[in-house]
């Protein structure tokens, strides 16, 4: 299952179109809180999370999941500067970063 | 003895006359019926009557009608009760010029008990120039708000990049999705599905969202159409400098103005030119603040065809490399960002048929930014109006 946590509805919808168009199972959440309240992860899941979420940030969500022992494959997306991204993902193990706007095919990057 | 007395009186009268006529304020003396006995030169200018015309007439002559009735009542009251409403206090009143113009005056009144009865001496100061200064200050304050738009624009650059990110991301992802589906259909020799059209529609919406953001930006930059007028560049720059000093009160950088005596006429939108000057000045002040000598020099000059405003700082200058990217949008060497400011400034200058140039300085020389504008081309008839 591919889990998208993104507050911008257009970006979330476009990402969903891209993944589901390729026949992949997708669930979309608008916030970290929504996701925590209504879903849990299995080790096979891939989570695509916007670092700049309102409320609990993407970085905090990943940290929260790591603490809880769930370490899915995480792909962080962000439109911020590389310095900000580095700060926000500090201490997180093995997070792939995709920067907005996309410079390459994201489906390949996500499924790779 | 009597002769001496007369001579003394004559001398003191001559002194009095000369005092009246050199005074910077209007001076009027009236008797207890309101009849004017003295009306000095400044009063002639203020009210448009000669002393000859005014002396002997009631002081209501130089008041707006609604005040003159009050005046009679005030004087009457004072004579009856001795209660002072204005004497020794001073207040703001209205005066009326011969041509009917009503204007604000500050009036102080003194009283003299003479052998001819009570007389009142009024000292009048025209408040119009002070009013003008007050108005100027409030205009300047409004302009500060206007000018901060330019610095806000720098921050706006970053904000815009952030805002454009979302629709561009969505747009590209939709297109990637459609491209994949089209390829897949092709491979299976199937016609494109409605679903693809849906996705394309969404992609168009995102492109529109992005272009709305750009349009909004453009509106902020181009808020007004340029209002061209023939202006004296020295005045325009002076105002910008005043404004900047007004904003940066207590700053420790000295601003040196090197202006010539002759007016330099250019056809320009004064506010836009001031935006450029303020932007250059802001950059220069920031550099000068860190330097040892802490000054910024603003000089104005011209040749036959062009007028120049140069802003030089006491800093170390900048490298050739920095110079190359200086006017590029979003290029900046500072955290606060000046790239957009310079790019916009140059665009405004070019829009006026001029240009904005940078001399990097170095080797003990600070950087110089020079705004060049074409001189106003006047035919002779127009020249006469610049008396």
* B335 touches A: beta carbon within 8 Å: no
CA neighbor of B359 nearest in space, from B292, B306, B313, B296: B313
CA distance A69 to chain B (A): 32
CA neighbor of A107 nearest in space, from A6, A3, A30, A20: A20
Helix (H) or strand (E) holding B309: strand B306-313
- Chain A hits for B180, Cβ within 8 Å: 18, 21-22, 107
- pLDDT for the residue numbered B39: 93
Residues whose CB falls within 8 Å of the CB of residue A106, separated by 6 or more in sequence, listed in order: A15, A18, A98, B173, B176
- pLDDT for the residue numbered B203: 92
Q: B233-247 and B270-289 helices cross at what angle (nearest 10)? A: 50
- Distances in Å between the Cα of B249 and the Cα atoms of B235, B242, B297 are 21, 10, 18
Cβ atoms within 10 A of the Cβ of B380, count?
6
| CB nearest to B173's CB, from A79, A80, A106 | A106
- Chain A hits for B173, Cβ within 8 Å: 11, 14-15, 17-18, 102, 106
**CA A85 to chain CA mean position, Å:** 13
* B170 touches A: beta carbon within 8 Å: yes
- Chain B hits for A2, Cβ within 8 Å: none
Quick check: B154 and B339 in contact, CB under 8 A? yes
Interface with B, mutate which of A14, A28, A48, A77 (most B CBs under 10 A):
A14
Low-confidence ranges of chain A (pLDDT < 50): none
Per-residue pLDDT of B88-97, as tens digits, reads: 666 788 899 9
* A109 touches B: beta carbon within 8 Å: no
Residues B176, A105: C-beta atoms closer than 8 Å: yes
Residues whose CB falls within 8 Å of the CB of residue B93, separated by 6 or more in sequence, listed in order: B63, B67, B104, B105, B106, B107
- pLDDT for the residue numbered B380: 40
Half-sphere exposure of B223 (CA within 13 A, CB side): 9
In this predicted complex, what is the ipTM? 0.87
Residues A21, B181: C-beta atoms closer than 8 Å: yes
- Chain A hits for B209, Cβ within 8 Å: 10
What are the residue ranges spanned by the domains of chain A?
A: 2-111
CA gap B75, B84 in Å, rounded: 10
* B202 touches A: beta carbon within 8 Å: yes
Out of 3.40.50.720, 3.60.15.10, 3.40.50.2300, 3.40.605.10, the CATH code matching A2-111 is 3.40.50.2300
Residues B177, A21: C-beta atoms closer than 8 Å: yes
- pLDDT for the residue numbered B336: 40
Per-residue pLDDT of B207-230, as tens digits, reads: 988 887 777 666 655 555 567 889
- pLDDT for the residue numbered A48: 95
Residues B181, A102: C-beta atoms closer than 8 Å: no
- pLDDT for the residue numbered B143: 62
- pLDDT for the residue numbered B219: 64
**Residues of A numbered 49-78 whose beta carbons fall under 8 angstroms of chain B's beta carbons: which are they?**
77
Compute φ and ψ for A40, nearest 5 degrees.
-135, 165
Low-confidence ranges of chain B (pLDDT < 70): 1-2, 85-86, 88-90, 134-159, 216-226, 246-251, 324-325, 327-341, 378-387
- For residue A12, the chain B residue with the least C-alpha distance is B170
| CB nearest to A15's CB, from B167, B168, B173 | B173
CA gap B61, B49 in Å, rounded: 10
Residues A102, B167: C-beta atoms closer than 8 Å: no
Alpha helices in B267-362 (DSSP H): 270-289, 320-325, 339-351
* A14 touches B: beta carbon within 8 Å: yes
- pLDDT for the residue numbered B138: 63
- pLDDT for the residue numbered B2: 63
Residues B199, A21: C-beta atoms closer than 8 Å: yes
- pLDDT for the residue numbered B221: 58
- Chain A hits for B206, Cβ within 8 Å: 10, 14
CB pairs under 8 A between A and B: 70
- pLDDT for the residue numbered B155: 57
* B206 touches A: beta carbon within 8 Å: yes
């Amino acid at each position: 299952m591919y889990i998208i946590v993104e507050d911008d509805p257009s970006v979330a919808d476009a990402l969903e179109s891209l993944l589901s168009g390729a026949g992949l199972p997708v669930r979309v959440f608008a916030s970290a809180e929504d996701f925590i309240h209504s879903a849990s992860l299995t080790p096979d899941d891939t989570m695509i999370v916007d670092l700049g979420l309102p409320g609990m940030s993407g970085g905090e969500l990943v940290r929260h999941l790591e603490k809880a022992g769930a370490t899915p494959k995480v792909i962080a997306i962000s439109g911020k500067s590389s310095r900000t991204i580095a700060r926000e993902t500090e201490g997180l193990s093995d997070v792939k970063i995709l920067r907005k706007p996309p410079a390459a095919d994201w489906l390949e990057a996500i499924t790779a | 003895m009597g002769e001496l007395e007369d001579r003394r009186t004559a001398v003191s009268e001559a002194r009095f006359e000369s005092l009246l006529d050199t005074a910077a304020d209007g001076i009027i003396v009236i008797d207890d019926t309101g009849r004017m006995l003295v009306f000095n030169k400044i009063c002639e200018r203020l009210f448009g009557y000669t002393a000859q015309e005014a002396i002997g007439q009631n002081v209501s002559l130089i008041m707006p009608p609604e005040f003159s009735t009050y005046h009679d009542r005030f004087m009457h009251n004072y004579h009856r009760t001795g209660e002072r409403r204005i004497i020794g206090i001073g207040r703001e009143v209205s005066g009326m010029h011969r041509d009917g113009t009503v204007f604000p005056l500050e009036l102080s009144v003194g009283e003299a008990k003479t052998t001819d009865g009570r007389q009142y001496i009024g000292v009048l100061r025209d408040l119009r120039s002070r009013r003008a200064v007050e108005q100027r200050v409030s205009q300047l304050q409004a302009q500060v708000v206007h000018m901060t738009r330019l610095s806000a624009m720098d921050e706006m650059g970053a904000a815009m990049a952030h805002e454009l990110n979302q629709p561009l991301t969505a747009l590209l992802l939709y297109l990637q999705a459609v491209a994949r589906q089209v390829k897949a259909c092709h491979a299976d020799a199937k016609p494109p599905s409605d679903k693809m059209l849906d996705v394309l529609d969404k992609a168009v919406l995102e492109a529109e969202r992005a272009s709305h953001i750009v349009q909004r930006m453009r509106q902020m930059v181009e808020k007004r159409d340029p209002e061209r007028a023939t202006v004296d560049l020295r005045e325009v720059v002076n105002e910008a400098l005043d404004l900047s000093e007004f904003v940066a009160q207590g700053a420790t950088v000295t601003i040196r103005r090197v202006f010539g005596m002759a007016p330099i006429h250019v056809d320009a939108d004064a506010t836009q030119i001031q935006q450029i000057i303020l932007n250059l000045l802001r950059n220069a002040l920031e550099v000068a603040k860190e330097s040892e000598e802490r000054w910024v020099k603003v000089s104005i000059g011209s040749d036959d065809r062009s007028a120049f405003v140069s802003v030089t700082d006491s800093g170390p200058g900048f490298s050739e490399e920095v110079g190359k990217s200086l006017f590029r949008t979003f290029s900046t060497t500072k955290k606060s960002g000046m790239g957009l400011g310079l790019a916009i400034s140059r665009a405004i200058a070019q829009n006026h048929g001029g240009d904005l140039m940078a001399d990097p300085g170095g080797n003990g020389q600070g950087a110089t930014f020079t705004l060049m504008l074409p001189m106003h081309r006047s035919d002779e008839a127009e020249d006469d109006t610049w008396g």
